[in-house]
Amino acid sequence: MGTPGDLPVWKAAIFLFNVISAAVAKRHVVYWNSTNTRLTAGDMSVQMNLNDYLDIYCPHYPNKGSQGPGQPETLALYLVGEGTFQGCVETREAIKRWECNTPYAPFGPVRFSEKIQRFTPFSLGFEFLPGHNYYYSSLPADEGPPLPCMKLRVTVCCKPTSEGSIEKEGHSKSLSDTVRSVCSLRTASPPLLLTLVLLLLTT
């Protein structure tokens, strides 16, 4: 049975573990606007691991005169199926993730973050399976100008290799050899950091 003095240690350990998890995760940044030619060409792919973050930055303009004679880009981003991904169309199966409708935000471009996780405690969160591909596309907002089709493919590493894992996870789609990885550096080794947390718990 623990003593009252043990509680702060547990709280500190849990807090430290959460900080470490965030520190070792990679953040993959995508600027979602029509000037990103990889998005408009439809060939942008990102390979991610569980617990990584996908950071999407909305179109942004410093002031109302900076975008030129046209209207500012406003749009909605959807998580869609592979078939819908071939062309930017809205279907019943499409899941609206975010709306980019603040092009003149005073604090800079609006950022939306998607955590790539197997399970989520949030009702609006989305759960990702290793070895699967996920597809994002956008549609212009009703009040905004027409926009080209912009889309992104996310591949979650890695495909299960054992028969038991395959049965448990379902039939995973094979990883594409041409997926381009967005390079970033992990700041520390997860096993080492986990060991440090366990040492804190036992002291």
Give alpha helix (H) positions in 30-162. Answer: 37-41, 82-85
Residue at token pair 């036992």: 202
Residue 142's pLDDT is: 87
* Dist. CA 186–CA 169, nearest whole Å: 27
Residue 179's pLDDT is: 34
The CATH number fitting domain 26-202, selected from 2.40.440.10, 2.60.40.420, 3.50.50.60, 3.40.1130.10:
2.60.40.420
Is the pTM higher than 0.85? no
Q: Average pLDDT by consecutive 10-residue portion of the chain (203 residues)?
A: 53 54 78 96 94 97 79 94 78 89 95 93 83 95 91 90 48 35 36 50 54
| Whether the Cβ atoms of residue 114 and residue 65 lie closer than 8 Å to each other | no
* Dist. CA 21–CA 140, nearest whole Å: 35
